[in-house]
Structure 1
């Protein structure tokens, strides 16, 4: 009996292995073509994992099926039919347009995909020749082989183009030697020898100007114009072509800077964010999909030819006699052919209503596409902000044994994200506030020095508008890059914001600045604690500071646990728990600086933040929240502009982040180090009395 079961299982596997594997391979293609694009619109950990698993298994399953066919391990299927199925797997390995790379690292492995393509193609051709000369499907196999080989080539080419080194190389300008120095000196020496009075004049590059966009910026900065949906897409594409080099730290000219500033200075916040959304959508497509690769007339023609080949295969298979083919094999073949046709139609449909078609179509056609139900897009990113609250984290600790097991399994960070992270909608009033603050700062950047000061500020520039802060040294030192590191400033301001928020006297007045402070504070702590890779350029020892501060807070709350419980209306009311906890923290007398008592061993900032909160309270309710909201925008802008560009690009495949929009918006306002601010010289002239000679 023990030998009988494995024999039956082996027989069942030999009979159905290839049929099941090719159908599962097709199933993964269907899942990816419909779900892969949703990862840029939904910030869901489970969705990301599911797409990642499908992405990996899709390639593995197709390659495994090719291996089964090439080794002849399916005895129940004829070699002729198996050789016809093999090119379908090349088609599957080519993947859908919606995803060529799951992450940026996949693009760097383009050469591995190229080698894989060559090996799989050789295997499929080998299987084809094995089926000759008696195969009735030889013509169908050749047609499908051509279509599959092209699809796989398309994917490999897309990976090659999205590889960051190749992406950067494609952006390099033509070599520029500048004015002809040797020729100029020859002419100059000849004139000097002939005692002809001569001077060298430099002609500025056409389109150069001062750092400001124009002399009237201060007057017409708020003369906004509303954009139509089509104008939003067209302008998003225009600025994508100009600023896509941000991903690879490309340098930009003063002309590009001024053009961008001039455009965004005259936009409303809603339109500006919509343009940025379209621009980032194009960046996502360029890095993770085939859209750049397929966006040309030549590729459209090749794709049309592939579709014709697939259609011919379906028509020919219908007409061929199939008496010697089993019913199950007929069904599998029809499913493969029908699936190939349907996937092709879905790809055409997605391409037709994509932003790429809108920007390349005629004006009337573009209007039709963007107004159609399929062309309307509510959003191109998740429009979500993750939140992480220090007080909530400390009041809701996990059991110690859970932490021990989670640490052992290496899933502590995942459990923390599931338990303590929450997501909220990024409201329009928050976008408007951030945009207006950045625009006001950009307007002040009239010189290169001022632009760098604003770019490097993490709260200092805001405090200049509030002279009273000089009376409170902790406020000044908490945002100074000379006295505190960025992660130290962020954590202190987050805890101080929590303390002010939950002990505020105007909680029922719905102060918009108060809510903005809370949302940005929780968002920035989420980035610092749960997105350390994104914030690695500015995080410093943020993780150590956070854990030390949490430990001190937990010890403090545990000590006063019974007193805190007596103030709660209900034990499960987390709002009451936060209020009473913050009030208890604020009641601690902080006459002596914590560092003078504890030394420098512990990096906890708990009571430093309490001291900061006490100083902030002295500004009064309205003034306090107004100043704090602006400081939080500056802290956000600092992190956005100093994080690595490739980390911003990585967020595009995970639902997007508000910090990515701020990074791009700052670049459009000219706030950064990626601009060649001063104008060069297009040519030099020799001026001799009334005669001049130009040297381009």
Structure 2
């Protein structure tokens, strides 16, 4: 039985390759434009479109080459049709498309790890294109014109493979390893030792220490002092060249620590976060674009060769006699040539206005690097909002119901300067104690307990204050995901109570910052659990939200007596921590309002820092494709302040010397 009528099949066969080539070019344009904006958006819809375009781009180019190869195989001893000659001329363009745009080489870090698979696949496609080209060879002008078009196609493919390989974890790490150091010549030392001993000298092995030079960092002033952001670009690039080792699990030196601390302890909050933002932008370019190659002398030369070849082919094609080909095929050929040139020009424009170029030219126009937003998720609001009564069959079939439910209640908020100042000031104070490896480890292990212990050391006039601090310390000693939920519930209840009793009180800076951080940490627990330490956070969240239902959930919670610990009533069957959170909120309400919100905000900052240090570098790097997360900015800021375990703390380099008496 024929599904498609013969006439439709004829039309599809005749226009199949033409449709595929136009689809392939369209996908390249989408990737070029969207790829350049990828590191500063937070939209899930745009991410889905980008993902579909990324997968479809390679698929359309590969299928197109397969169709051309199939057409070439059916020729045999027949006379070569002019239509096949011109469609075979399109084969190099598919290689150009397989090479991909400069703005995106990898959708995720896993693509970099599979560079060998990409290289094998692309090598096969080059072979297919060459096969099509040789099959269509009739010694016509168009055949000869296809030769220079292979140059940009092969260049693009080589660039993509080279960049994917360079960004893979093993190669990226190897590129930053210092040259092998065999150390002092032990054999020669022992030979001299034995010789002196045989001569009758009293020989001893002593130590000679070469002191390590440690001083404050010296920053070079930008050449163009009229450009305000030139200094930021230079500072960010200098720190990027050093701290990119964090993205390879390498250890930094004590000199790196001192240099970074001396800069960031003197910098303002706004300046520090700007440097971090540009620094992470450089890291995004290295892992997910061709920037590492393109913004180099070799990259510029390759780009010049590629652009020149395409322009020459277009000019020659304009002067050729094309009467043997159909008008539609000629138009498509022009579209391919003009499209290739347009994409090259667009790439050059991006090159000129990029941070890499502006770094050297000190010419900056305030381009967007980070949307300055943070995810928000509120348990109480989640429970109070109206939920969909049912999901479609498709959503259930693809197991998307739970994901869509989470996305529905996800929100975002601006990372205010007040919040940045709060984080920056806390880290600045902590960095003063990061003097050795032991102190760094202790600071990295703090998850709110240090703040609460410091508060407990202060004189407490009221009994309720002592009770609040005692219960608070217990709450941060639980599993980390449990601590997040406990403090999230307590923060929201306190915020709601203050808003009802004294609306002006929530205007306290620490109050608003606490609310933002509370909702952000729950957002990480629900939407980005891989960025937090391992635990059963998802189970606790599900059990807790199942208890928190009804229009008067907050009012009921505020009135419920928690004299008996909830764990003694419900046992270990349910992982809900709703009433434990209420139990924490009640004594907090007895504190003075300013002290309360100062305490709560500092606890949240410490918990955020703990989570940032526990998150693996690859998770931080992967989130750069979604505008980056606040937790990643804090992670890098912590490292710059020296609050990290990835430093090699050593006082000097020592080597043995002979002491002859």
Q: How does 1:615-626 map to 2 (within 5 A)?
A: 615-626=587-598
User: Does the 8 Å contact 2:613/2:635 carry over to 1?
Assistant: yes
Aligned partner of 1:67 in structure 2 is 66
Q: How does 1:452-531 map to 2 (within 5 A)?
A: 452-467=441-456, 468=460, 471-472=467-468, 473-480=470-477, 484-504=478-498, 505-509=501-505, 510-531=507-528
Q: Which segment drifts farther, 250-259 or 517-526?
A: 250-259
Aligned partner of 1:235 in structure 2 is 235
What secondary structure is seen at the aligned counterpart in 1 of 2:68? helix
What secondary structure is seen at the aligned counterpart in 1 of 2:454? coil
Q: 1:404-444 deviations in whole A, cap 9, x for unaligned? A: 98555311343123320111111122112111111111112
Q: CA 1:60–1:404 in structure 2 vs 1: closer, same or farther (change >3 Å)?
A: closer
Tell me how far apart the structure 2 counterparts of residues 243 and 236 of structure 1 sit (CA, whole Å).
10
Deviation at 1:36, TM superposition (A): 1.2
Aligned partner of 2:140 in structure 1 is 135
- 2:210 corresponds, among 195, 201, 204, to 204
Q: Does 1:398 align with 2:395?
A: no
Aligned partner of 2:543 in structure 1 is 548
User: Does the 8 Å contact 2:27/2:53 carry over to 1?
Assistant: yes
Aligned partner of 1:426 in structure 2 is 415
User: Does the 8 Å contact 1:80/1:135 carry over to 2?
Assistant: no
Q: 1:246-266 deviations in whole A, cap 9, x for unaligned? A: 112111111111111111111
Q: How does 1:31-430 map to 2 (within 5 A)?
A: 31-72=30-71, 78-191=83-196, 194-196=200-202, 198=204, 200-208=206-214, 228-359=228-359, 361=360, 366-367=361-362, 369-370=363-364, 375-377=365-367, 379-396=368-385, 398-399=387-388, 401-402=390-391, 408-430=397-419
Tell me how far apart the structure 2 counterparts of residues 14 and 445 of structure 1 sit (CA, whole Å).
70
Deviation at 1:126, TM superposition (A): 0.9
User: Does the 8 Å contact 1:528/1:539 carry over to 2?
Assistant: no
Tell me how far apart the structure 1 counterparts of residues 253 and 242 of structure 2 sit (CA, whole Å).
10
Tell me how far apart the structure 2 counterparts of residues 449 and 56 of structure 1 sit (CA, whole Å).
47
Aligned partner of 1:577 in structure 2 is none
Q: CA 1:145–1:654 in structure 2 vs 1: closer, same or farther (change >3 Å)?
A: same
What secondary structure is seen at the aligned counterpart in 1 of 2:503? coil
User: Does the 8 Å contact 2:437/2:645 carry over to 1?
Assistant: no
Q: 1:590-612 deviations in whole A, cap 9, x for unaligned? A: 11111112211211111111111
Deviation at 1:400, TM superposition (A): 5.3
Q: CA 1:16–1:406 in structure 2 vs 1: closer, same or farther (change >3 Å)?
A: closer
Q: CA 1:190–1:272 in structure 2 vs 1: closer, same or farther (change >3 Å)?
A: same
What secondary structure is seen at the aligned counterpart in 2 of 1:340? helix
Q: CA 1:680–1:596 in structure 2 vs 1: closer, same or farther (change >3 Å)?
A: same
Deviation at 1:512, TM superposition (A): 0.8
Tell me how far apart the structure 2 counterparts of residues 592 and 471 of structure 1 sit (CA, whole Å).
15
Tell me how far apart the structure 2 counterparts of residues 586 and 686 of structure 1 sit (CA, whole Å).
76
User: Does the 8 Å contact 2:440/2:643 carry over to 1?
Assistant: yes
Deviation at 1:196, TM superposition (A): 4.1
User: Does the 8 Å contact 1:191/1:198 carry over to 2?
Assistant: no
Q: 1:506-535 deviations in whole A, cap 9, x for unaligned? A: 332411110000000000001001112222
Tell me how far apart the structure 2 counterparts of residues 424 and 584 of structure 1 sit (CA, whole Å).
28
Under a length normalisation based on structure 1, what TM-score does the superposition of the two structures give? 0.87
Aligned partner of 1:635 in structure 2 is 607
Q: CA 1:404–1:151 in structure 2 vs 1: closer, same or farther (change >3 Å)?
A: closer
Q: CA 1:81–1:402 in structure 2 vs 1: closer, same or farther (change >3 Å)?
A: closer
What secondary structure is seen at the aligned counterpart in 2 of 1:207? coil
Tell me how far apart the structure 1 counterparts of residues 36 and 261 of structure 2 sit (CA, whole Å).
31
Deviation at 1:613, TM superposition (A): 0.5
* Number of residue pairs the alignment of both structures matches: 636
User: Does the 8 Å contact 2:623/2:629 carry over to 1?
Assistant: yes
Tell me how far apart the structure 1 counterparts of residues 503 and 177 of structure 2 sit (CA, whole Å).
54
CA RMSD of aligned residues (A): 2.4
Tell me how far apart the structure 1 counterparts of residues 275 and 659 of structure 2 sit (CA, whole Å).
47
Q: Which segment drifts farther, 229-238 or 471-480?
A: 471-480
Tell me how far apart the structure 2 counterparts of residues 19 and 439 of structure 1 sit (CA, whole Å).
61
Q: CA 1:607–1:658 in structure 2 vs 1: closer, same or farther (change >3 Å)?
A: same
Tell me how far apart the structure 2 counterparts of residues 176 and 470 of structure 1 sit (CA, whole Å).
57
Tell me how far apart the structure 1 counterparts of residues 621 and 291 of structure 2 sit (CA, whole Å).
16
Q: CA 1:180–1:413 in structure 2 vs 1: closer, same or farther (change >3 Å)?
A: farther
Q: Does 1:675 align with 2:632?
A: no
Q: 1:303-359 deviations in whole A, cap 9, x for unaligned? A: 211111111100110111111121111110111111111111111111111111223
Tell me how far apart the structure 2 counterparts of residues 356 and 144 of structure 1 sit (CA, whole Å).
29
Q: 1:447-502 deviations in whole A, cap 9, x for unaligned? A: 3222211111001111233124654421111112xxx1111111100000011000
Tell me how far apart the structure 1 counterparts of residues 288 and 8 of structure 2 sit (CA, whole Å).
41
User: Does the 8 Å contact 2:193/2:203 carry over to 1?
Assistant: no
Deviation at 1:636, TM superposition (A): 0.4
What secondary structure is seen at the aligned counterpart in 2 of 1:466? helix
Tell me how far apart the structure 2 counterparts of residues 269 and 202 of structure 1 sit (CA, whole Å).
43
Deviation at 1:197, TM superposition (A): 6.7
Tell me how far apart the structure 2 counterparts of residues 63 and 547 of structure 1 sit (CA, whole Å).
44
Tell me how far apart the structure 1 counterparts of residues 606 and 212 of structure 2 sit (CA, whole Å).
35
Tell me how far apart the structure 1 counterparts of residues 555 and 15 of structure 2 sit (CA, whole Å).
68
User: Does the 8 Å contact 1:549/1:606 carry over to 2?
Assistant: yes
User: Does the 8 Å contact 1:44/1:655 carry over to 2?
Assistant: no
User: Does the 8 Å contact 2:212/2:652 carry over to 1?
Assistant: no
Q: Which segment drifts farther, 91-100 or 539-548?
A: 539-548
What secondary structure is seen at the aligned counterpart in 2 of 1:382? coil
Under a length normalisation based on structure 2, what TM-score does the superposition of the two structures give? 0.92
Q: 1:12-49 deviations in whole A, cap 9, x for unaligned? A: 11221111111111111111111112121011100000
Tell me how far apart the structure 1 counterparts of residues 396 and 659 of structure 2 sit (CA, whole Å).
76
